[in-house]
Structure 1
Amino acid sequence: MESYRAAVAQMNSQPDFNYNLEQAYEEVRKAAKGGARLVALPENFVFLGSLEARMEQAEEIGKRTPDFLKDTAQEFGIYLLGGSYPTPAGNGKVYNCSLLVDPEGKTLARYNKIHLFDVELPEGESYRESDYVESGKNRPVVSRAGEIGNIGMSICYDLRFPELYRSLTERQADVLCVPSAFTATTGRDHWKPLLRARAIENTAYVLAPAQTGTHGKKRTTHGHSLIVDPWGEVLADAGKEVGIATAVIDPSRLKEVRRRIPSLDHRKIF
């Protein structure tokens, strides 16, 4: 693996599949034009709206989104992470699926979100992801993607479960991807500290593309798509606006941090 530029795309996805595809394409185009070799899109990048509309469109979304990712990756000659999108699970629910494709349009890895967001937040804000999403039953997923390193897959709420990321680094992940639609309520206090913690404790790069702003009538997300290095330094922050943030993924930096603090070699509990 050699040094390369990575980009995290920050989007304001809506309940309009075609609009969201156009927005995603434009962000990928800008990132590729800026020299990004790996571009990561956020959770729910093709649809962020009501449960009813999501379920009605899940079959179409599940069919068209992989084609969009493959065609776009081929067009720009990049590795492309489709943060997540709904795809039918065959039991009346959907998987929250993340797909990584290579510059030839080949699928390198598929990950279905394991941890589902069932929470009660202040001021009556609540979410029940398990009402419509089937938890992924697969093991932690690491793609051995050659020139861009070993890519560990996760989605949003997974961020709160450090054992998943330790499992990814046990499988030799160099870069941990956390595409998200983090709520504004929790994002203010938890988003950056959790991402920095996952980077520090696993001495790995973290790519966290995110949603921002208001989606439909009720949902508001935090923004601040980040790229964090293995020391926990925030290399890039997209702020609150739609756009991209980029940084260089440097294997020599990864080796340096793991040499200075070889905590992965000092573990006593497995």
Structure 2
Amino acid sequence: MRVIKRCYSVYKNTFGDMDNLIAVCQVSSTNDKAKNFQACKTLITNAQKCGAKMVFLPESVDYIEEDRQKSFDMAESLDGPLISDYRALAKSLGVWVSLGGFHEKFSDTKLYNTHVVIDDRGEIASKYHKIHLYDVELPSRNINAKESSLIEAGSEIVTPVHTAIGNVGLAICYDMRFPQMAMALAEKGADILTYPSAFFFGTGAIHWEVLLRSRAIETQCYVIASAQTGSHSSSRKSWGHSLVVDPLGTVIAQCSDEPGFVLAPIDLTLVNSIRATMPLVNHRRYGIYPKMSSTPWPYLPIQDSSEYKFGASTVKGFQVFCQTPLSMAFTNIKCVLPGHVLVAPLRSMEKLSDLNEDEVKDLFLLVQKVEKTVETLHNTKSASIVIQDGEDAGQTIKHVHVHIIPRKQGDYLDNDDIYRELQNERKSTIPKRSDDEMAQEALVLRKHF
């Protein structure tokens, strides 16, 4: 992996043909909006020439003005001239741009601190209003800030935006001190977390890197943090050191303390590999503590060589066509009808009542998705969904599981015969399917997840 470890004002050479290359920019914004835009335009243009698919800019990318009233007067709306200029630039270069922090007009007295993502067609793909505001006094470090005096706090963690480099979760600066938000973004499907910043110099040396590396390790996401650097006025100085952290917590690219940009590749296969080999999501105890988000985790990578406990039996990885944090869906060794598949919790529990609330929710959300999928594949609008919950109900494998069986008119003379067929599954003359048959069916089904 080739990674440039420091910033340059202008790049003359590219990384070559490398997928998912990003550029993380570092600037020294002032109260001159036109000058700030020209500096960022140069960085974006040069980064795009180097092959960057997405360029990240820091918080307060539009301006930094210490006087509250002047700062308020300088703010614009999202359809104002500055965002229009950035949209035109992104479109002309065919590159995604993250404007890490823009002063957006909100009311007669307040602004939003808004993270804007512009796609390669020049359209606004997503926006996020900073929810954690920096109201901190640290006299020993010459810090006296009250962001809430000008900024209205946002009220929503935004669903990660699907970009050319992966699913990007949006945050801003002070948000990095709140791991709950990072976890919520990961639960919503983020591969990458962004923390564009104007991080105060006084705390940069002790907190900047360790916070960002921690957010990467606990979420198993890439972390991208573009930053302001240097002196903006006689009383305001930023730490700089923009960086990229991989999902293992390793800093793979970092700027120093000068304006410029750094290139780094984003490897989503690394994200999937780390989550598969150290499956933190499977080990979280959501029956003891809550999820940070009500949105289910995305589907997780499946290794054909893996094995899953299924009562006293084993489900092979090649049978599994979908895995969520708490459940799995897999092909069946004995099918009473074509398309008969199973969904089960990952935790081996005998009865449905043994599962916790999160497991039940995850299980039946997956059942719903699997039902729709097998009905589509088998050209039907009906399915039998069956749980044999306990031995007297016909359960032969002591592990909660849901049978999903696509149905067609006339497949049984008496519809209830299907339940008798399931009741006598072990004594059934239905032949067992081969590993190859189950693996091939799983491959077809995986494409729908």
The answer as to whether partners of 1:227 and 1:246 remain within 8 angstroms in 2 is no
**1:166-181 correspondence runs (5 A):** 166-181=183-198
| Number of aligned positions between the proteins | 268
Match of 2:52 in 1: 36
Deviates more, 1:16-25 or 1:53-62: 53-62
Contact 1:149/1:175 (8 A) holds in 2: yes
Q: 1:22 aligns with which of 29, 35, 38?
A: 38
SS for the counterpart of 2:244 is strand
SS in 2 for 1:59: coil
CA distance in 2, matches of 1:159, 1:82: 17
Within 5 Å, which residues of 2 pair with 1:1-270?
3-50=19-66, 51-59=68-76, 63-123=80-140, 124-145=142-163, 147-268=164-285, 269=289, 270=291
1:117-156 CA-partner distances (Å, limit 9, x unpaired): 00011334200000000001123331122x3211100000
Contact 1:62 1:88 in 2 (8 A): no
The worse-fitting range, judged by mean Cα deviation, of 118-127 and 8-17 is: 118-127
Q: CA deviation at 1:260?
A: 1.9
Aligned-residue offset at 1:91: 4.0
**Distance of aligned partners of 1:245 and 1:92 in 2 relative to their CA distance in 1, 3 Å threshold:** same
| RMSD of aligned residue pairs (Cα, Å) | 1.5
Identity across matched positions, percent: 36
Gapped regions of structure 2 (runs ≥ 5)? 1-17, 292-449
Q: Distance in 2 between matches of 1:68 and 1:108?
A: 16
1:52-110, Cα deviation, whole Å (9 max, x unpaired): 32111113787223212211111111110011111111241000001111110111111
2-side partners of 1:217 and 1:61: how far apart? 30
User: Structure 1 residues 4-13 or 43-52, which shifts more?
Assistant: 43-52
Distance 2:81 2:203 in 1: 32
2:166 alignment partner AA? G
Q: TM-score, normalised by structure 2?
A: 0.58
Tell me the distance in 1 between the aligned counterparts of 2:84 and 2:78: 10
Separation (CA, whole Å) in 2 of partners of 1:230 and 1:217: 38
Distance 1:132 1:138 in 2: 19
Q: How has the CA–CA distance of structure 1 residues 46 and 61 changed in structure 2, closer, same or farther, with 3 Å as cutoff?
A: farther
Distance 1:91 1:198 in 2: 36
Structure 2 distance, partners of 1:60, 1:233, is 38
* Higher relative contact order (CA closer than 8 Å, sequence separation 6+): 1
Question: 1:172-222 CA distances to partner (integer Å, 9 max, x unpaired)?
Answer: 100111100000011110000000000010000011000000002210000
Distance in 1, matches of 2:233 and 2:63, equals: 10
Please, what TM-score do these two structures have when normalized by structure 1?
Answer: 0.95
Structure with the largest fraction of helix: 1
Q: CA–CA distance in 2 between the matches of 1:238 and 1:231?
A: 20
C-alpha contact 2:157 2:181 (8 A) present in aligned 1: no
Q: 1:18 to 1:62 in 2, by over 3 A?
A: farther
The SS at the match of 1:8 is strand
The 1-side partners of 2:277 and 2:203 are apart by 33
Report which of the two structures shows the higher radius of gyration computed on alpha carbons.
Answer: 2
